[in-house]
Structure 1
Amino acid sequence: MKKCAKIAKALIRRFLHPLDPEREIAVRTADGRWVRDVSYAFFPEVLESLPVVEVYQGIKGELLFDIDAHDADTVYSAYASALEEARRLLEVLERELGIRPSAAVLTGRGAHVLTNMELDREARKALAEYLLSSRCRPPVKIDAKALVDVKRLRRWPGSPNVKTGAVAALIEPERLFSMTAEEAVEATFPMRRVYVAAAVSKAVKTPLGEMLEPGRRRVDVHTALWLACS
C-alpha cells in the first residue's frame, strides 16, 4: 500500500508539472486508496479555467488577505463569520488605506482577498499589525503570516480544500458585501447534490453539518473527498 502511494506521488511530481509546488492534489489509485500530494494546479488548466486571468499575473508580489473561521462548527457558520470579517476588511482597505482589491477567492471556510499592490516584507508586517490592532476601527481578523509571507499557500480557483471538501471559487470583491453564507456554500460546494457511496469509520459531523453513522453511506462528492482525506 505504502509503495503504491509513493509511486503515485512520484508520477504526479514527474508528469503534472505543477504551477505552484505548494498546492494540493488528491488521486485515487487502482486499489481504491486516495493519495494526497502537495501539487495541484498546472499551467494549461489554470489558464483555461480562470475567468479573470489578469488577476493572477505577478501573483508572487501581490497582497493576500486571508480570512478563515477555523473554529466554526460547519461551513455555513464559517462563511457567516468570514464574510462579515471580509466586509470589514474591504471597508478599511478602501476607506482608510485607499487600497482597492482586485479579486476574492472563497476557500471553503473563508475568503482570500487579493490586491495588485506590491509591498516589501516590512511594509506587509506593519500593515498586518495595523489591521489586527485597536488603532484599526474595527480591527480585522486576518492571518498575519499569510499577508507577510508571499510563499504561503494560496487557493487557486478550482482547487480542492481537503479540510472541507470544497472547491475554491473566484468572485468579484464587491460580491462580498451582499453575499450570504448559503450563496458562498453554493459557489464552493457545486456538487453537493451529486452522491457516491463512501465508507464511514466512525460517527462524524461533516463540514456541511450532516451527521454520519459508521458504515457504508450515501454522501455527496465533497463529503466523500473530506472523508477520504481526514
Structure 2
Amino acid sequence: MAKTILIVEDQQVLREIMKEYLTDEGYKVLEACDGRQALELFQEHDVHLVILDVMLPEMDGWSVCRRIRKVSDVPILMLTARSDEDDTLLGFELGADDYVVKPCSPPILLARCKRLLENRPIQGLGDMLSGGGIMIHVPSRTVSINGENCNLTHTEFEILAYLMGNKGIILTREQLITKIWGYDFEGEERTLSSHIRNLRGKLGDHAKSIVTVVRSGYKFEDRP
C-alpha cells in the first residue's frame, strides 16, 4: 500500500511541484494550505510523513509540529527559508526530523522524504542493542529505558542506534552527519547538536551515556 505524505504549504505552485514528484514515485499525497487544515487532515488520515512549511496562515509550522508531536512520532520534514537558521533549529527543538531550504530542489526533497519513510536496516547491528539501562529493538525501531517505552523521532532513533552500535568508539560529527543524513546534507554541526540535545532530554538520567568528546564528536558508554 502506498505511503501517505501530507504537504503543508500555502504556496499552491510549490505544493503542486512537490505533489507531482511524490506521486510519480508512488506516494499518496494530501495537501493543506494552512496549519488548521493540516491538523484536520492529519487526524482524518493515516499519515506516514509530514512536509511542513514554517510560515503558514491560521497556525504556523511550529505550532503544527508541536501539536503533532504530542500525539505522534511521524517523521516531520520542515521547509524553511535560507535566512531562517534559527527557525530551523527551533523546529528541531519541537521535534522535526529534517529540513529542506526553499526554494528546494525536487530531487533533494525526494531523497529526504525517502530517508525518513524507508526504515532502512542499520548495517552491522543485531536485533537488540543495550547499554546504560537503554534497550533498542532494531527491527521494530523501539526504545525502552528500564522497561519503560521511550518515544523518539526517526532521526533521534537513528542517532542513538548508531552510537550504541559503536559503543565505546568515538564517532566524529562528520561521521554521524554522513551516516544519518548522507553526503548531500546541506546543514551543519548545529543541526546534529540540536538532535543530540533533544535525545538527551528524552533519555533523562540515562543521557550521561552519550558522552561529548571535545573537538572530536560523541561516543556511547555503559553508565549506570
TM-score, normalised with respect to structure 1: 0.26
Greater C-alpha Rg: 1
More helix by proportion, 1 or 2?
A: 2
